[in-house]
């Protein structure tokens, strides 16, 4: 089994390089937009101007922008904030590179699943296309919403629409695979964090005299899934777009690397059923390293998440910090 984490990490960098500058520019824009908004907030900044009939003042002497002016500024901001992304999505070279990247990512994430499902060529291509469409759901919704009469949807609305779109795509996948194979697909998809951890263990043991056999790897995945129960592990966001800087709404549009499942004491206790002593020692060491890595990320997020008075949306924390640590 190839290292899932290695494949995902290296593959993600292709799109991150292309979109990273866009996200960073948007992140820088937060401070400017919020500072501008603060100037119109009572008690924050006093502006010495002579009020006209269209401008009202508060008891503190702060000048508050008229509603019509705020509305115009919001509309202009709506028009500007996705221009960079729209330009990228109209670039044929970028689109070809993105599709190629996504196909590579699919083989890294779902190659073993494709083998299990015993797909014919037509089914395989259909499933690949649907999986890529599912991955692009948020981006598609975001771009379509730019043409809405009321302006771009909020971050929450985009996430809801993307969830509905993914659900519709899942139904098409069910129709392509049939109920039995669809169940295998959903179980495999849900176990990605555990598979990421086991893939790291398998790679670590590959150059020892106690390599992890495929049957052991699958048994360990099943064991970890059983212990994890309802406690799911989310993927780190790959690249996010700030949809509403004033409300700090950010929507992940590129899938990041699968988060590795933590190794719990219960998992270690049960792992002795499928691992020999050397393999179990390596599994224990890996669990400690994953715990330490998670602690570093959490501490970095707590320390770096606030710049001045501006809170970085959590999706961007995942991008900025995770790239540094990889």
- The pLDDT tens digits for 302-313 are 665 555 554 544
CB 247 within 8 A of CB 312: no
Number of H helices, E strands in the chain: 13, 6
Q: At 229, is the secondary structure helix, strand, or coil?
A: coil
Q: pLDDT above 70 covers what percent of the chain?
A: 52
Quote the pLDDT of residue 100.
80
For residue 144, pLDDT over 70 is answered with: yes
- Token digits for 220? 């360990």
Quote the pLDDT of residue 275.
97
CA dihedral 11, 15, 21, 24 (to 10 degrees): -70
For residue 319, pLDDT over 80 is answered with: no
CB 239 within 8 A of CB 254: yes
Mean pLDDT of all residues belonging to the chain: 70
251-156-301 Cα angle (round to 5): 50
Q: At 238, is the secondary structure helix, strand, or coil?
A: strand
For residue 320, pLDDT over 60 is answered with: no
Lowest mean pLDDT among 143-157, 177-191, 242-256: 242-256
CB 181 within 8 A of CB 235: no
For residue 263, pLDDT over 90 is answered with: yes
Beta bridge partners of 240: 252
Higher-pLDDT residue of 115 and 161 is 115
Closest CA to 87 of 146, 46, 31, 30: 146
Please give the C-alpha separations between residue 64 and each of 36, 58, 72, 289, in angstroms, as whole numbers: 12, 7, 15, 53
Closest CA to 33 of 83, 70, 88, 1: 70
Quote the pLDDT of residue 296.
80
Burial 292-313 (b: 16+ CB within 10 A, else e): eeeeebeebbeeebeeeebebb
Highest mean pLDDT out of 17-31, 100-114, 166-180, 257-271: 166-180
Burial 101-128 (b: 16+ CB within 10 A, else e): bbeebbebbbebbbeebebeeebeebbb
Q: What is the mean pLDDT of residues 50-69?
A: 39
Q: Cα–Cα distance between 113 and 218 in angstroms, integer?
A: 12
71-121 per-position pLDDT tens digit? 445 445 545 555 666 676 677 887 778 778 778 878 878 888 999 999 999
Q: What is the mean pLDDT of residues 165-170?
A: 92
The phi, psi pair for 313, rounded to 5°, reads -55, 145
Quote the pLDDT of residue 106.
84
Q: What global pTM score does this model have?
A: 0.61
CB 255 within 8 A of CB 235: yes
Q: What is the mean pLDDT of residues 33-49?
A: 41
For residue 48, pLDDT over 50 is answered with: no
Quote the pLDDT of residue 157.
76
């Amino acid at each position: 089994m190839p290292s899932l984490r290695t494949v995902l990490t290296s593959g993600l960098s292709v799109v991150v390089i292309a979109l990273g500058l866009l996200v960073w520019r948007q992140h820088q824009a937060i401070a400017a937009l919020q500072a501008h908004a603060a100037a119109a907030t009572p008690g924050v900044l006093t502006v010495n101007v002579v009020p006209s009939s269209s401008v009202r003042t508060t008891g503190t002497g702060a000048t508050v922008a008229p509603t019509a002016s705020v509305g115009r500024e919001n509309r202009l901001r709506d028009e500007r904030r996705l221009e960079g992304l729209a330009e990228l999505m109209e670039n044929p070279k970028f689109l070809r590179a993105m599709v190629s990247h996504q196909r590579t990512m699919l083989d890294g994430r779902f190659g073993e699943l494709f083998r299990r499902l015993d797909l014919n060529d037509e089914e395989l291509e259909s499933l690949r296309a649907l999986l890529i469409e599912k991955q692009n759901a948020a981006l598609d919704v975001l771009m379509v919403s730019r043409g809405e009469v009321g302006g771009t949807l909020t971050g929450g609305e985009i996430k809801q629409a993307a969830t509905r779109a993914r659900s519709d795509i899942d139904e098409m996948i069910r129709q392509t695979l049939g109920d039995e194979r669809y169940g295998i697909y959903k179980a495999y998809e849900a176990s990605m964090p555990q598979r990421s951890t086991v893939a790291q263990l398998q790679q670590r043991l590959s150059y020892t005299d106690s390599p992890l056999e495929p049957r052991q790897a699958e048994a360990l995945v099943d064991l970890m899934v059983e212990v994890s129960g309802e406690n799911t592990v989310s993927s780190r966001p790959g690249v996010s777009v700030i949809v509403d800087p004033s409300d700090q709404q950010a929507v992940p549009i590129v899938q990041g690397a699968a988060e590795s499942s933590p190794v719990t004491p219960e998992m270690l206790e049960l792992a002795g059923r499928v691992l020999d002593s050397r393999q179990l020692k390596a599994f224990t060491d890996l669990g400690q390293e994953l715990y330490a890595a998670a602690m570093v990320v959490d501490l970095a997020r707590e320390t770096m998440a606030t710049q001045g008075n501006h809170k970085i949306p959590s999706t961007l924390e995942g991008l900025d910090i995770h790239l540094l640590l990889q």
